[in-house]
Structure 1
Amino acid sequence: MTTPTSSTVLVPRIRGALAHSDRIVLPQSVLEQLLSEAGRESLPSPLTFRVFNPATNAYTHCGVREFSAPESTVLISPQIASTLGVSEKQLQASSTQDGSTPPVLLVSKCDLPKGTFVSLCPLDTNYLTMDDNWKALLESALQASYTTLTEGQTFSIVNPATREAITLLVNNLQPEKAVCIVETDLTVDITAMSEDHAWKSVAHRDAKRKVESGKVATISQDAPVRGTFSDLSQVFLFDLKSWDRSRPVIVELEVLDAGDSSERDIDGRAADVFVSIDEHPSKDYFLWSTQTDEKNVISIAPSNSFLATAEKITLAVRSCVVPLSFSLMVSQEEGIVEQKSAPAPQSESRQCPNCKQLFPPRTFQLHTAFCERNNLLCPHLGCGRIFRRQDGIPASHWHCDLDSFSCDSVSTKEKHILAHHTLATCVCGESFPSQQHLAHHRATICPQKLHICRFCHLRLPQESRDSQSDLLAGYTGHEFRCGTRTTDCPRCNRIVKLRDLDSHMQLHELQRVSAPLPRICANALCVRVIDDDPAAANSNSLGLCSSCFGPLYSPMHDPTGARLKGRIERRYFIQLTTGCKRSYCTNPACVTGRTNSNLPKLAPAEVAAMVKELTEGGKLEFCVDDGMTRRRRLVNWIGDDNEFARPWICRAVGEVRVGGEDDDPTSSEAKARSWLVENGVRITEVR
């Protein structure tokens, strides 16, 4: 059932945050009308509406973002405009003052059921370019931007990795043809639009997987791997999944075709390796690379902060010329990689004025004559490269005017200029003086860098941090905002913010470790905790629980304790002469327990001596019921592990209510051990 809330509506087009959303902006009067109709009842959450275009007989459903639009105006997204058949020309007319007639829509409140199932059909193959977590991205987009789904509608989500919009068609919905998707468990099924579309999707995916360089191989330490580039778009990916975190990681790349540089445009730096820890590295996304190292070697110190939480190291090898072969090796050394130093010059050695090399006196004259005639030194200060005089210095030999870089190929020169001296702009809008700076920015602090949120577990942009406290806490901008959602503490059931849950649980852990040792009943056969028995905590000087002290209680005034001592002697005498008559009793201070344990029966004189010994010795051994006997056996069984002190085991057994006739011993033990792990203090944790 619908209730009209607005009729004549201007439709200016919304861009930006609402470009891919079904949430509209309504006038303040609509909210006032809804509140008036609701009376004392609260408005449903979320509010859902049906939007109808009389000119095209098209309709859709939507949610509301806010009530701030001008009167008689509703702001809609391009997506809703397209669904309703509102053309670009009409949108332009609605936003100008040239007298054109704006489109008129009917907006009415509509209560929709919670959705349980949706079948979606991708209208293109863009979704295949997304990673394996694309369903999580779809879930995130629906949660952030959509309130309703209508059968037959199309909607778009943006892939953060490629910034491409992915369009999907709503094929089928349950339980009705229009549903609300807020605060509901929605089963999502992705289907092909047709058999031909399905085959195209499979072909697109297979073609992507066929690219040899797209496969991620596992690389081991001290095991060189080789590859050959046949296309400039190729990239070889390798994962290092285990390494000694106390030693540096050394990555060495060797170009195997560098010897052909005289005939081909290749030198030793025609290929580069890019290294990252969380995503496949590329030319504009990496933490370390060989682009800044003349020897194609990367050394990552064990103290590097990026490696502290890294689960793996990903390496990508790229080339600027083809065909080209390379060899890649990862190794670890005991200490810092030492550079091989040149041999110390001998005191008699002389330097050649042409090639600047040192030679012994006996060959100096011969070398100098030959060198002047055949060799040519590069005039660039600090270069030291020597060429054949008859060939001259090749045009491919180049020195950068902005730094100390030099190379022997045009392709490497172009690569260096592009990587180090070309302005680059990030997708977040920030500009950088070089691709090197851009790559480090994208791999570290870029708001558009994808990461897996520790709270919603979705792969989303990390966003900008709002304060330094986010940085100190280790949260990204998205995690700080996502962490404002609340949950119940599993220990105390208090409502806690997700981002505060770790510190809250640490407080519980501190309270657990610092908890005092529980006091147990002084009766050797009882395992009750006195701290849990308010009636017995301070009611007697013997340290007994209320159950054990009950038979000894007397309201008579006894300042010296003589009468209490007499009652204790009388109880021992009854136990050792008459007994408790319980078949499970094993109390050595009871005639029944001694009989059950095959102990010899005591003579009257021995009974009197034992009563005196027990009374004066301060040890209390009173018979207990069957439930307490089973609890004591369980305490002794768990105590054999010597992991927790006996008082903590007694409390655990008491907390899980062990001791009933129908209790399963195995289940009771598991419950008690579980309580101990969560609440008990181990012997090794006692300070």
Structure 2
Amino acid sequence: MSFTYARTLVSGSVISDLEGDKLILPPFVLEELLRTASQSIPGDFSDAQLPYPITFQITNPKTRLVTHGGVLEFNAKDEKAYLPKWMHDSLSLTNGSEVTIRLKELPKGTWARFRPMNADYKEIPDYRAAFEGYLRSHYTTLTAGEILTIKQADSSYQFLVESLKPSNAVRIVDTDLELEIEPLDAGHNAFKAFKGDTENDIQVEKIVNGKVSKNTYAYWNVLGIEKLHGLNIELRILSGDADLIVSIVRNPTVDAHLWSNFETATKKNIFIPATNSEYATSNELAIGVHGFSDEPTSYELEITSSDQPSKSNDSEIAIINDVNENSPGYAKCDNCGSWIPERTITLHSNFCLRNNIKCNLCGKVMLKGEEQKHWHCTYCNKVGDYLEKEKHIFIFHTSRQCSCGFEVESLPGLAQHKRTTCPEKLITCRFCYNLVKQGSPSTNQHDLLEGLTAHESYCGGRTTTCVKCHQPVVLKNIATHNMMHEIEKQNRKLPPLCRNKNCVRIAADNVLKLCAICFGPFWSPTADPEKKMLYTRVARKYHSQLTTGCGQSWCKNLHCATGNSSPQDPTTAALSLTPLLKQLQLSTTAFMYLCVDEQTTKKRTLANILYKGEDGGGFEGEYADEFCVYALEVENGDLSAARKWLIDNAPKVKWVP
């Protein structure tokens, strides 16, 4: 920046929606900046170049308090500067106070340490991602000593900017900022104690007792769950009435849960099968007991591991009755429908008609007089005691409205809405990893098919750089982009290696399929259509290797007297080379075994280590020999780097057994 600019303005009233460190300034400030920047350039000042990002030093001229910030807009309708509330308070400004803004180019921040102002910050699922996302959206600068506010959904968390590098004021645009959070031990302990006061732990296969008052909750966190089996959760009411609610997040409520039982019964059961996706993928399971009756409710809670739901006494009686149906010697009572032995059917029928009455709607048999308490819901198929009517209507047929404006006719329906389509449902964004409201359904059809929320559709529209091809990629397309790289990797082909087993070079176009260097001693311009002269030269080369060797100390060729330290006499050598020549003549892929130079020998040794997995990074035959050789060429003989190249770029020949 080759120019300076300073201006004293009047601070405007605090705008509650103004977040981060960005100011709203009058339009003439931009005009003055452009004019100042173009003083050395003739012509229209609109051609002037301003620094990016524009950052200011902001000062209260009376108190000399200083901070820094960026600019959001140059559209203030009056000649005032509008500052975020935290900045207003930090500079001790009041509405109408003078404030001086001075253009100041700040260094790029490289490191920052923050200290939480209270222990609530532990509630942030991933505070590093939260910092990254919030700073990117709302902050241009950081100043040591200021209080930074990070918002997650409806909650705010404050951190002191304790230290920065390389300066006490830095810009954080287009830079990689390393974050460090100073732990808050005392606060953390207090936080844990607070949590412990409101929640209890319960083990599977255990029974616990409790008491809960009306419209309050008792919470239990389930421990010792084996996900191979389902769970039977049974709430036994000893006195009063309470509701059973279960969720995979802590502190479920009657209008925010996954499973519930609102029946008016002394035993309330919820069965969660092992195949349930929410149960199978969750790390926690929370149970809530909600007091419903006016008097405090005493209860027993038991959790058992099971693959079948527990059966009530009514279902067991029904099973017993079904056994006698249409059995020889049994007759059906016309009044109650029970199957009674024929010898006593007359006595039973007379007694049943005097004492029992059958409901014409549901067929339930009850004692005479109890029909006055018998009740059928006019909205659904619910049948029960008249005492249950008020609660049933309140729970299942009373209109309720979500905070987002959605209306539903029952508490379970409201809970389902809140955990599925509610715009205010809190999710952890798969791209910024912040806890945010999911928003309304995405308007992009592709994003809908991918299951992206409105926030994720917007957030996933940002670009990043692919670590493999270094090309810009939209975040929500990374999976598809990586799949393309995987397909390219699986289809990657390399030219065949030199036929010489001891060589690492690529084969050339010659009759022996050797590289140019290995083929050199055998090449001849003489016409040799039947390759007799060629094979004669190969035989001489083999015979020389087997009898006298190459004489090179680095040689590891097992078909060389130097490499195997076992010279052969001419007759034995002739017998040994015969099968080698025969293989050469019969197959164009049979290996040849020729001595090579020292550098090639070293590369071949390293390639063998990679191929056999002797470097500790794989197993023998996992990658083709050609790729092992090529990886070493790319990484200049670095064994560990070559292994990484194989993992990232080479298709596997076979998988781990």
Q: TM-score range by the shorter chain?
A: 0.7 to 0.9
Aligned to 1:325: 299
C-alpha distance after superposition, 1:573-631 (max 9, x if no partner): 5435543112454546544446x0x354224xx65676676556526332223444454
The answer to whether residue 273 in structure 2 is matched with residue 272 in structure 1 is: no
Matching residue of 2:103:
109
1:635-664, Cα deviation, whole Å (9 max, x unpaired):
55665679665981243134224999xx8x
Between the aligned partners of 2:474 and 2:635, the Cα distance in structure 1 is 39
- 1:71 is displaced (CA, Å) by 6.1
The answer to whether 1:48 aligns with 2:55 is: yes
CA separation of 1:624/1:317 partners in 2, compared to 1, >3 Å: closer, same or farther?
Answer: same
CA distance in 2, matches of 1:176, 1:425: 52
SS of residue matched to 2:217? coil
**How big is the shift at 1:442?**
2.0
Which residue, 425, 449, 457 being the options, matches 1:449?
425
1:253-268 to 2 correspondence within 5 Å? 253-257=234-238, 264-266=239-241
For 2:570, what is the secondary structure of its paired residue? coil
| One-letter amino acid of the counterpart of residue 410, structure 2 | S
Deviation per residue, 1:427-469 (Å, 9 max, x gap):
4443433322221122223333333333333333334434232
In structure 1, what is the Cα distance between the partners aligned to 2:512 and 2:623? 17
1:327-349 alpha-carbon deviations (Å, 9 max, x no partner): 33344437999965442345854
Matches within 5 A, 1:64-213: 64-70=71-77, 72-83=79-90, 105-114=99-108, 116-120=111-115, 122=117, 127=120, 130=123, 133=126, 137=130, 140-150=133-143, 153-154=146-147, 156-160=149-153, 163-166=154-157, 178-182=169-173, 183=175, 184-189=177-182, 205-211=192-198
Find the aligned partners of 1:236 and 1:647 in 2 and give their Cα distance.
Answer: 52
Indicate yes or no: 2:200 matched with 1:226: no
Instruction: Return closer, same or farther for 1:379/1:10 CA change in 2, 3 Å cut-off.
Output: farther
Counterpart in the other structure of 2:541: 571
Distance 1:398 1:678, change over 3 A: same
Deviation track 1:99-143 (CA, whole Å, cap 9, x = no partner) reads xxx666443323344554455463x77x37945656754554444
2:362 to 367, 378, 382: 382
Return the offset for 1:274: 1.8
2:492 alignment counterpart: 515
Using structure 2 for the length normalisation, give the TM-score.
0.76
Q: Is the 8 A contact 1:23 1:76 kept in 2?
A: yes
| In 1, Cα distance between equivalents of 2:272 and 2:505 | 56
CA contact (8 A) 2:212 2:289 kept: no
d(CA) in 1 for partners of 2:162, 2:577: 87
Query: C-alpha distance in 2, partners of 1:202/1:610?
Result: 79
The residue aligned with 2:470 is: 493
SS in 2 for 1:235: strand
Equivalent-residue separation in structure 2 for 1:658 and 1:113 (angstroms): 37
Mark the CA change 1:393 to 1:169 in structure 2 (over 3 Å): closer, same or farther: farther
Of the candidates 514, 518, 523, which is equivalent to residue 548 of structure 1? Answer: 518
| 1:512 to 1:281, Cα distance in 2 relative to 1, 3 A | same
Q: Give the deviation of 1:401 after TM superposition.
A: 4.5
Q: 1:312 to 1:614 in 2, by over 3 A?
A: closer
Structure 2 residue runs without a partner (length 5+): 39-46, 585-589
CA distance in 2, matches of 1:204, 1:640: 53
Secondary structure of the residue that 2:624 maps to in structure 1?
helix
- How far apart are residue 205 of structure 1 and its match? 5.0
Report the residue type matching 2:180 in the other structure: T
Instruction: Give the Cα separation in 1 of the matches to 2:132 and 2:607.
Output: 49
Is the 8 Å Cα contact of residues 120 and 189 (structure 1) preserved in structure 2? yes
- Equivalent AA in structure 2 for residue 64 of structure 1: V
How many residues are matched?
Answer: 619
Q: Which residue of 2 aligns with 1:476?
A: 453
Name the Cα RMSD after superposition.
4.7
Q: Which residue of 1 aligns with 2:220?
A: 236
Structure 1, unmatched stretches of 5+, are: 91-101, 193-197, 258-263, 531-535
The answer on whether the counterparts of 2:623 and 2:654 sit within 8 Å (CA) in structure 1 is no
1:285 is matched with which residue: 231, 246, 256?
A: 256
